[in-house]
Structure 1
Amino acid sequence: MPSSSPRTPAPSTSEPLRARRGRAVLATAAAAATALTAVGAPPAAAEKSVDVAVEWYDATARTIAAAGATTQSTNNRTWAISWIAAARAVRDTPPGVKRRAYQDAALASAVHASLVALAPTRTEDLNAALHRTLERIPDGASEDRGIAAGKRQARTVLASREGDGLDPTSVNTPFPTPEPGPGVWQPTPPSYSPGIQAGNRRARSFLLGRADRFRLGPPPALGSARYRADLAEVRAYGSIDSTVRTPRQTETATFWLGPSLTLFTEPLRVALARSEGRPAARAALVALFHVALVDTQIATSDSKYAHLRWRPVTAIRSADIDGDPTTTPDPNWTSLHNTPAHPDYPSGHTTYAGAAERVLTALVGPRTAPFPLTSPTAPGVTRTYTAWRTLAQENVDARVWSGIHSRTADTAGVDLGHRVAEHTLRNADRLFR
């Protein structure tokens, strides 16, 4: 088990530091995106009857929905590989070809070849999608060379990621349950399953390097004022029979209960569809989003399994050993939603949301026109958003109101996601050489 001592100081929460760091990352990311683009002006909007990037974004989403892995980081990996290949394939337009025909064929072929390799059961549907795209492109050297470039880049990226430890078996390698003790994670009701996703921390990242590069400092000490406040909030607001949680808060908890990848697929699509620029930069937006999310999940598992902080349900039911002798245990306390089978600190949902927020803010700006969002765990509910930051803020609250995370675990998660995403953006050029 890795040492629980922090590798880096806990991130500052000062707004001036965050603002300076955000501006620096924005400048670096903009420079990286510019470096990806081919020389020359992008195609005029009037020329584009079909947005091939969005067309193949939707094809990727359908493929993941129909044949995706059981582990979220594996599915983010599929997205990342496919769209790194796409960004590389359209990076340079060779002389003597029609730019749009070449780039459309290259992008579609790169994503198609990657997905066929990673989700072979969807080959027939993917072949049909590729046929539809290529049917719109005039036959000739531009199309042929684009197809060849897409296939070549797919092969290269796939080979570079072989054996990276992000397959479901490696991600969910068995984790031995630690001996019980104050503050130590234990399996949680109702299933009391062993810890999952511990293998993420041993996977090979895209850009992070060491899994512990941004390991969080320790969570609040048992019995400290912060710890007691966290526990009291979850106990009151996260209980299945809470008398203080409002209907709107319950809806928020339920809305953000589903898998983060599922919930963030539409916001990223909105960003892509509304983005302007050359095809390489637009493909890089999708690639960098998912690269950051793979690396964030690696960093999240590192901190979770380094600190092994127990979940609120365990703490509340065992409050006589939480360091505060005045706290009364509640052995029958039950959270609104079932607790996932891994430690509390940090929250995986909020690290994901923090990374997503930072990538979208850096590459397309902090706000967009209003867009609707639905959730598979809240049928019939539609929410409207204009700022990526709001998605992260709601994730923080949602995990507390679900009764499955402390607020400290949630806010620390957003900070960790920010830091990994900033590292991804600073090093983006390494992906597209």
Structure 2
Amino acid sequence: MNVFRSRPALTALTALGATALLAASTAAPSEAATPTSAPRTSVALDWYDTTAQTITAAGATTQVTNSRAWAISWLAAARAAGSVPRGVDRGDYQDAALASAVHDALVALAPARTDQLDAALDRTLDSIPDGAAEDKGVAAGARQAALTLKSREGDGLDPASVNAPFTVPPAAPGVWQPTPPAQAPATQYGNRLAKPFALRGADQYRLPAPPALDSRQYEADLAEVRAYGVKEGSSRTARQTETANFWYGSSLTLYTEPLRVAVDRSPRSAADRARLVALFHVASVDTQIATSDSKYAHQRWRPVTAIRTGGIGQDPEWTPLHDTPAHPDYPSGHNTYSGAAEGVLEALAGPRTAPYDLTSPTAPGATRTYTDWHRLTAENVEARIYSGIHTRSADEAGVRLGEQVAGATLRNAEALLRPAR
């Protein structure tokens, strides 16, 4: 089995990301007005955890809508905390601004959690000395939350818009059709019509066509899924089956802990931590928009349809390890997400870190240890093949697309992080 290797583009992204973060950190001369105390990690991490809890408890049914909630709330935080008024304590101001911005944005986006969010804000403000820094930080956070929310009104990322109706084309070789067992209508079609944060449009990085049905690449792709992705009698090892199970769930859920590790280990200020979270989720939203654009532009059938009805070793009884999601094969959404996540994390947190452990809700009892961000991507590439739901070409094209969106996000970081007015 091949192991996907990161492309040299990520090295350039790392340099670009560091430059973007430094530029954002020094854009406003007033930020250096007072001496800086040692960075305080607790407020950024507290609100990271509060955001995760809020989305878990009261989030939308569509992943991209929840990614949008993260992006809006933490963009507001980064914008509010990024420029400190003269004459106030920087740490106190940034902590108050971050907490106020995330609180107000999440109250608007998840009103069912208002009581919990109010209590969290009270705890944060109780830990900050009363005075001008706290008052101005709270006011800045409230203002940036309101303006950031307003700027995203009607952006097409609500659940109804995300799952806009899609007319299934007539059955033909290579063309997507609903898949067993549910034969469900297509989902996520509306993502491609939504408003991105950093991209010029959903089709900015539209992928070239997938391998032709009569190509050697396509034949190899299908043979690999047929052997390693079948539910019964596969060529998978126990470890490979665990990999498929580990990465089967929501990418947003699976990447919440790796991003938290990066935030926790960042030596930078609360404002810089907010920028990391904001840019990560901006990239994830735009990646999901770009993914749906390529998926529905090419409408490539899923492996289960190809193997059951296609012209290469047709097997009407072939069944994948995992049920196939209801949207086209090319590219893999899990891998576009992974490519974008790796691009932002490597750029803003460095390519390697001390060991950290991950668990997965779809692989109970399994714990995996990592020392970088790339391994997450490599496992996602393999996992979708072992699950029987994507081809390698769809996986690797997805990683490339995610990397491109990460690059666009980092190049636009200064504009994205500039306080709204």
Aligned mate of 2:147, from 130, 149, 156: 156
Matched, 1:401 2:386: yes
What is residue 338 of structure 2 aligned with on the other side?
353
Contact 1:28-1:426 within 8 A present in 2 as well:
no
Aligned mate of 1:429, from 395, 409, 414: 414
Matched, 1:316 2:310: no
Contact 2:287-2:340 within 8 A present in 1 as well:
yes
> What are the Cα deviations for residues 381-401 of structure 1, in whole angstroms up to 9, with x where unaligned?
110111100000000000000
Q: Hey, what's the Cα distance between the residues in 2 that align with 1:16 and 1:177? A: 35
Contact 1:173-1:198 within 8 A present in 2 as well:
yes
Q: Hey, what's the Cα distance between the residues in 2 that align with 1:99 and 1:24? A: 27
> What are the Cα deviations for residues 67-107 of structure 1, in whole angstroms up to 9, with x where unaligned?
01111111111001101111111112112322222221111
- The amino acid that maps onto 1:202 is L
What is residue 193 of structure 1 aligned with on the other side?
184
What is residue 352 of structure 2 aligned with on the other side?
367
Number of residues of Structure 1 aligned to a counterpart in Structure 2: 412
Question: Per the alignment, in what secondary structure is the counterpart of residue 199 of structure 2?
Answer: coil
Q: Hey, what's the Cα distance between the residues in 1 that align with 2:67 and 2:9? A: 27
Q: TM-score, normalization: structure 2? A: 0.95
What is residue 268 of structure 1 aligned with on the other side?
259
What is residue 44 of structure 1 aligned with on the other side?
38
What is residue 116 of structure 2 aligned with on the other side?
125
User: How far did 1:292 drift?
Assistant: 0.3
Contact 1:36-1:280 within 8 A present in 2 as well:
no
Cα RMSD after superposing both structures: 1.7
Taking structure 1 as reference, are residues 295 and 191 closer, same or farther at Cα in structure 2, changes over 3 Å only? Answer: same
User: How far did 1:36 drift?
Assistant: 5.3
- The amino acid that maps onto 1:367 is R
Aligned mate of 1:335, from 320, 326, 330: 320
Contact 1:42-1:277 within 8 A present in 2 as well:
no
> What are the Cα deviations for residues 149-201 of structure 1, in whole angstroms up to 9, with x where unaligned?
11011001001001100000000011111110000000000000111001000
**1:43-192 superposed matches below 5 A:** 43-45=37-39, 48=40, 51-192=42-183
Taking structure 1 as reference, are residues 138 and 153 closer, same or farther at Cα in structure 2, changes over 3 Å only? Answer: same
- The amino acid that maps onto 1:288 is L
Contact 1:36-1:281 within 8 A present in 2 as well:
no
User: How far did 1:23 drift?
Assistant: 5.2
User: How far did 1:328 drift?
Assistant: 2.5
- The amino acid that maps onto 1:336 is L
What is residue 196 of structure 2 aligned with on the other side?
205
Aligned mate of 1:221, from 202, 212, 224: 212
Question: Per the alignment, in what secondary structure is the counterpart of residue 219 of structure 1?
Answer: coil
Contact 1:108-1:150 within 8 A present in 2 as well:
yes
User: How far did 1:137 drift?
Assistant: 1.4
Question: Per the alignment, in what secondary structure is the counterpart of residue 37 of structure 2?
Answer: coil
What stretches of structure 1 of length at least 5 have no aligned partner?
1-12, 321-326
Q: Hey, what's the Cα distance between the residues in 2 that align with 1:293 and 1:231? A: 28
User: How far did 1:242 drift?
Assistant: 3.0
Contact 2:181-2:323 within 8 A present in 1 as well:
yes
Q: Hey, what's the Cα distance between the residues in 2 that align with 1:18 and 1:422? A: 9
> What are the Cα deviations for residues 320-372 of structure 1, in whole angstroms up to 9, with x where unaligned?
2xxxxxx3210010000000000000000000000000000000100110000
